[in-house]
A and B are shown apart, each in its own frame.
Chain A
Amino acid sequence: MLLFLARRTALAVLVALTVLTFAFVLTRLAGDLAIVIAGPEARAEDVEAIRRAYGLDRPVVIQFLDWAWRAAMGDFGQSFFYRERVSTLIWERLPITLTLGLVGLAIALVVALPLGILAALRENTWIDRAVGLVAMVGQAMPSFWLGLILMLVLGLQLGWLPISGTGSWQHYVMPGIVLSFSAIPALMRLTRAGMIDAMSSDYIRTARAKGLSRGSIVLKHALRNAAMPVVSITAVQLGFMLGGSIVIETVFALHGIGFLAWESISKNDFPTVQAVVLLFAIIYIVLTLLADVLNAVLDPRLRAS
């Protein structure tokens, strides 16, 4: 068990370091950063001054080590565009993105779990096919378009919900619905597959033979065993959802991390772009690590291997 934990944590750290390097290399794709920051009309002296001011005249390896060391300490430097510390910018906006992610995940679970269980219990009936169709529609729906349609229908036509901004909890409902669409298909299919597996297993047959009620069999025995993969895919999906929030935050003008990322990309604000890429990657890495550890703790078979 300890060996598994150590190996898994080492992998997570290694992945994080690779992504750190990747985030640095990514921003060097543009060529000479000083020219990009100075803008197209800058004079040669200005470009030179910027190069010195941002330390871009140093060897690339030194620049990388310096940046990586500070980044590991949580210091991402100054934003070019906002004239503020990147860590402050992120810290201010993180609650909005986390709220959106959790609302989206909650909606996804409320929709996906019952439908997945229902489809499993009615396997190969029209109900099962209908649930499969729902999953496919969710997968094919362009999130930004769904967002605009919801704005038109729920916001403008019916006037139930505010169209954009972050003033109240109602502001999170529409973006949350749109975000949940990206997680519902995977969660639903996994719940269905897990339940079908569990329902055909020996312990369910035993429970049936003992004459337990159907409700007790489904809820107490089958669901508990089907839940484990669902828990781990939930963690993974939350990571993906936070990464996908960039589109939805832009559509609904929610000023979270995703919106910050979009603005800093269009303004060539490299320190912020690097920090956000790294932040989303780290959140994903930590979530998957937690899911794996949780699975190992709950499932002795995984621990042994």
Chain B
Amino acid sequence: MRVMRNAGLATGAVIVGAVLFCAVFAELLMPHDPFAQDLTRRLLPPFWMEGADPNHLLGTDQLGRDYLSRLILGARISFLIGIFAVIVSGLIGITIGVIGGFFGGRIDDVVMFVITTRLAIPLILVALAVVSLVGSSLTVVVLTLGLLLWDRFAVVARTTTMQVRTLDYVSAAWAAGCSRAWILGREVLPNILSPLAVVATLEMALAILIEAALSFLGLGVPPPLPSWGLMISEGKEYMFFDPWVIFIPGTALFVLVMGINLLGDGLRDLVGAAEVR
């Protein structure tokens, strides 16, 4: 059992590590300029098909841009979205959750009300509306997702804070005359971090998937940026004759999200954070 779990964790780490490497060193890895169009060389097939060009391992898109280079730069977009959306939503959610769990009573009622309201708001619909109204850019997408995806952070931070609050070392700190800020920052927060790390992986995967969906619907990352969702959207018209144009970016998206989830799942078992799902 243990071996299989570690295998999952290792697979996840390898996938995430490889994609992160592409994202960081995109400029060095891209064989071509991902924005350079060549209308005489449109929709060249990838290497495993007949008529492939060894210069373009994964072929070219409908504007003749090198597909491999676009895929590599797309990894950077996914990571930027995932990491920054998690930072924004984590700050909001953890603050709300810790306040509710620590103070309890009326304050906790308000926190529960805020969480319930957030859950009632339809996520993708509102994200689409906001991006459409404010105008689409990478920053707008990151902020929108960050402002919407904090609910699970809040729920888990609240529950775990409630459990930690009553433990002996917190009572001891109270008795020793520590200030409220000290107890929150030095006693409570460090002890709820591991389940929150698991939440962070789940939310990162979700943010990447939702960005892809928004870009697919034309209201996410604007062209000509090679977001994987946008690549699938642009390839959609050609998929009946050249199915590989949606197959390649879709597989990349699926593998990355799967890798992040495997990593999160392994982490959960490692730190014993069973309360997070």
* B113–A29 touching, CB < 8 Å: no
For the complex formed, measure the closest distance between the CB of A231 and the CB atoms of chain B, giving whole angstroms: 17
Beta-carbon contacts under 8 Å, B48-107 to A: none
Q: Are B1 and A136 interface neighbours, CB within 8 A? A: no
Interface residue tally on B, bucketed by range: 35 or more
Q: Is B186 an interface residue (CB 8 A)?
A: no
CA distance A247 to B239 in the complex (A): 18
The residue on A at minimum CB distance from B262 is: A136
Q: Decide if A140 touches B134 in the complex (CB within 8 Å).
A: no
Q: Can you list 11 contacts pairing A with B, beta carbon distance less than 8 Å? A: A129-B4, A140-B258, A142-B253, A145-B250, A186-B277, A243-B125, A246-B124, A247-B124, A265-B129, A265-B219, A266-B218
Q: Is the CB of B261 within 8 A of A247?
A: no
Tell yes or no: B119 within 8 A of A by CB. yes
Q: Which residues of A contact B123 (CB under 8 A)?
A: 243-244
Q: Contact between B213 and A143 (Cβ–Cβ < 8 Å)?
A: yes
Where the two chains meet, the residues of A that have a C-beta atom closer than 8 Å to any C-beta of B are 11, 14-16, 18-19, 22, 26-27, 29-30, 124, 129, 136-137, 139-145, 148-149, 152, 156, 186, 189, 243-244, 246-247, 250, 261-262, 265-266, 268, 273, 276-277, 280-281, 284-285, 288
Q: Pick from B133, B236, B247: contact of A29, CB below 8 A.
A: B133
Of A19, A244, A246, A250, the residue contacting B120 (CB under 8 A) is: A19
Residues of A within 8 A of B253 (CB): 142, 145
In B109-137, which residues have CB < 8 Å from any A CB? 113, 116-117, 119-126, 128-130, 132-134
With an 8 A cutoff between CB atoms, is B203 at the interface? no
Chain A residue nearest in CB terms to B132 = A265
C-alpha gap A276/B243 in the complex (Å): 34
* In the complex, chain B residues 237-277 whose Cβ is within 8 Å of any chain A Cβ: 239-240, 243, 246-247, 250, 253-254, 257-258, 261-262, 265, 277
Q: How far is the CB of B208 from chain A (nearest CB, A)?
A: 9
Does B155 sit at the interface, judged by CB under 8 A? no
How far does the alpha carbon of A148 sit from the alpha carbon of B128 in the complex, in Å?
A: 21
- B156 an interface residue at 8 Å Cβ cutoff? no
Question: Does B246 contact A277, Cβ atoms closer than 8 Å?
Answer: no
Q: Which 9 pairs from chain A and chain B are nearest by CB?
A: A243-B122, A145-B250, A140-B257, A140-B258, A280-B122, A30-B133, A281-B120, A29-B133, A18-B117
Which chain A positions have C-beta within 8 A of B277?
Answer: 186, 189
- Is the Cβ of A285 less than 8 Å from the Cβ of B246? no
Q: How far is the CA of A280 from the CA of B4 in the complex (A)?
A: 41
A19 to chain B, nearest CB (A): 6
**If A152-B240, A276-B125, A284-B119 touch, does A145 touch B133 (CB 8 Å cutoff)?**
no
Shortest Cβ gap from B116 to chain A (Å): 5
Cα–Cα distance between A244 and B213 once the two chains are bound (Å): 10
A142 with B133, Cβ < 8 A, contacts A247-B216, A284-B122 known = no
Which chain A residues border B133 with CB–CB below 8 Å?
Answer: 26-27, 29-30
A247 to B212, CA, bound (A): 11
Given known A142-B209, A284-B120, contact A15–B134 (CB-CB < 8 A): no
Inter-chain CA distance A141–B121, complex, in Å, is 23
The answer to whether B205 has its CB under 8 Å from any CB of chain A is yes
* B141 lies within 8 A of chain A by Cβ: no
Q: Quick one: closest A residue to B134, CB to CB? A: A29
Give the residues in chain B near A276, CB-CB below 8 Å: 125
Q: From B232, which residue of chain A is reached at the shortest CB distance? A: A145
> Is B217 on the interface with A (CB-CB < 8 A)?
yes
Q: Which residue of B lies closest to A276 (CB)?
A: B125
- B117 touches which of A19, A29, A268 (Cβ 8 Å): A19
